[in-house]
Structure 1
Amino acid sequence: MSTPAPRDDRAAVEKAVSLLASFGDQTNAGLGVSELARRAGLSKSTAFRLLGILERNGVVEKVGRKYRLGERLYELGSRVYDRDHDRIRDVLTPFLADLYELTHETVHLAALHGTDVVYLAKLYGHRQVRSPSRIGGRVPAYCTAVGKVLLAYDHEALEQVLRAELQPLTPNTITDPDRLAAEIAKVRAEGVAFDDEEATPGLSCIAVPVLGHGGRAVAAMSVSTATGRLDTRAQAPALRRVSAAAARHLMLVRRRPAPVRAIA
């Protein structure tokens, strides 16, 4: 007599979320039903049924015998962030390329989302190093160079961070509120921030703000490198020049009137 399969009491929504998370990094190439079911810990029949529902709602799409994440999921995800982020990325990416040309190291464009930073763009250097950053991903602001430079220009977000319990990501992460407040005050005075292996061991970063109207930091740009490979502090003057040019261009673009759409 065969032993009955254990009952899966998870709610349908939880199973669907597990299924979506199972795509991992293979969101474009796609995965078959059997592999998705295995990764999500579901029976093949349950996975097939849920994928059918998700497909009908545009959350996944079928390509041949495989499934990949659908356009509607991207649209829903993009609503989590400020709608202005796309425009900021489009306007500032050329200046990010300038930073890359100066260093040939990995460079980032990021904005503040609550007390986290969200990465809007990333250009990889020739010699890559392990990093927690990915486009669209979020990392606590207090342990990154881009985050610290953005907190320096957002008093409300900084106060939220200082009131919270700061979790260490590495032995170098600043978790003492007083020490972090002093660090942010220094960043505000100098206009540049550093991350000395505070988010990831072996990774050092330097970041500068891109200032908008009223002195508000609308974004930050950074250079990331393996610790010891590049003198990040020596890069400060070059980063300040690029950020100043980026800020001037951003304000110029924002002053332009919106294009008038022709009526056919």
Structure 2
Amino acid sequence: MAGNTTPAGATVISRVLALLGAFDEHHRRLTLTQLARRTGLSPATVYRHTGELVAGGVLARNSHGEYMIGHKMWELGLLAPVQTDLRQVASPFLQDLYATTRATVHLAIREDTEVLYVERLSGNASVPVLSWAGSKLPLHATGVGKVLLAYAPPRIRERVLQQLPRFTPYTVTQPARLTAQLSAVRRHGYATTVEEMTLGACSVAVPVHTPGRDTGDIAALGIVVPALPRDRARLTAALHVTAQGISRSLPPPTDHPGPQDAPNWGDG
């Protein structure tokens, strides 16, 4: 939203949501002027609401006058089902996988047309990656993303296929080629990437099916390594064993959930 004029008819809640939505992985600290520009709210409105949000711990303000997400948002985020259920259940399995492979380990879900990383384990010897817990990356250029995209509803795949940005010379940007890869993921049960998101980083990933739920309700488990050919079979086997352990340990769905009770792990 451009300009510094408060949108007509905007409610207090919509203004607060706009302020919080102005922050992302590329904009972790914003001045009052930047917040006004990114939200379209007037500086006076931004000043008034940010003062209340800082007082409540939702936002924080540093000595340079920059605003950032506050501790209250972090505390509330930990209460989300994806944190309390999936992350807690998966944690010991992810630790074992990391100890076995010494590779960067990812656990992710789909949020609309992006990968949302729920957890990442890595060490000093791990391949450098762009992800961290809570970050988002494109579905088509990551191993976990291809798994999630392969099992996503057709409408999501159609939206992703309409725009496939290139991040490295090896990113798959041809819709027909990506479609063929997604079909292979569903047939073979795993996805791979070779330097498609970051040069020097290859990945293999598998689905984590949710017991008793639709096959579209999955998470993705992946690891990032410098190269795949020699270790692909061993790494894929380790991932499948770990994914099966996580899946068996997840709590079963409630009987006949209502619309407000049904689990939603990021489906946009």
Structure 1 residues 168 and 63: alpha-carbon distance in aligned structure 2, compared to 1, 3 A threshold: closer
Question: Matched residues in 2 for 1:22 and 1:231: separation?
Answer: 32
CA contact (8 A) 2:110 2:145 kept: yes
TM-score, normalised on structure 1?
0.71
What are the ranges of 5 or more consecutive residues in structure 1 without an aligned counterpart? 1-8, 28-35, 258-264
Cα distance in 2 for partners of 1:72, 1:243 equals 32
Q: 8 Å contact 1:107–1:122 — kept in the other structure?
A: yes
- Deviations along 1:37-78, one digit per CA (max 9) or x if unpaired, are 699699xxx9xx6764542343334699998632344468x4
Measure, in 1, the Cα distance between the counterparts of 2:228 and 2:196. 15
Q: Distance in 1 between matches of 2:125 and 2:81?
A: 32
Bigger Cα Rg: 1
For the structure 1 residues 119 and 198, does the alpha-carbon distance in structure 2 shift closer, same or farther, using more than 3 Å as the test? same
Counterpart residue number, 1:197: 195
Aligned partner of 1:231 in structure 2 is 231
Structure 2 contact 108–219 (Cα < 8 Å) conserved: yes
1:84 to 81, 86, 89: 81
Superposed CA RMSD in Å reads 4.0
State the alpha-carbon separation in 1 of the partners of residues 23 and 173 from structure 2.
34
Partner of 1:155: 153
Q: What is the rounded CA distance, in whole Å, between the counterparts of 2:114 and 2:26 in structure 1?
A: 24
More helix by share: 1
Query: Number of residue pairs matched?
Result: 231
* 3-state SS of paired residue (1:180): helix
Asked if residue 242 in structure 1 is aligned to residue 242 in structure 2, the reply is yes
Q: Does 1:58 align with 2:57?
A: yes
Contact 1:204 1:232 in 2 (8 A): no
Aligned AA (1:94): P
* Cα distance per residue 1:96-140 (max 9 Å; x no partner): 112112201110100011121100011113313321211111111
Q: Offset of 1:143 from its aligned partner?
A: 0.9
Please tell me the residue identity of whatever aligns with 2:158.
Answer: E
Task: List aligned pairs for 1:177-216, cutoff 5 A.
Answer: 177-212=175-210, 213=212, 214-216=214-216
Q: Which amino acid aligns with 2:144?
A: V
**TM-score where L is the length of structure 2:** 0.70
Other structure's SS at 2:127 match: coil
Aligned partners of 2:25, 2:158: CA distance in 1, in Å?
36
Matches within 5 A, 1:1-264: 10=4, 52-61=51-60, 69-74=69-74, 78=77, 83-86=80-83, 87-156=85-154, 157-162=156-161, 164-212=162-210, 213=212, 214-227=214-227, 231-250=231-250, 253-254=251-252
Question: Is there any run of 5+ residues in structure 2 with no aligned partner, and where?
Answer: 7-14, 37-42, 256-268
**2:247 maps to amino acid:** A
Instruction: Identify if the C-alpha distance between structure 1 residues 40 and 119 changes in structure 2 by more than 3 Å, giving closer, same or farther.
Output: same
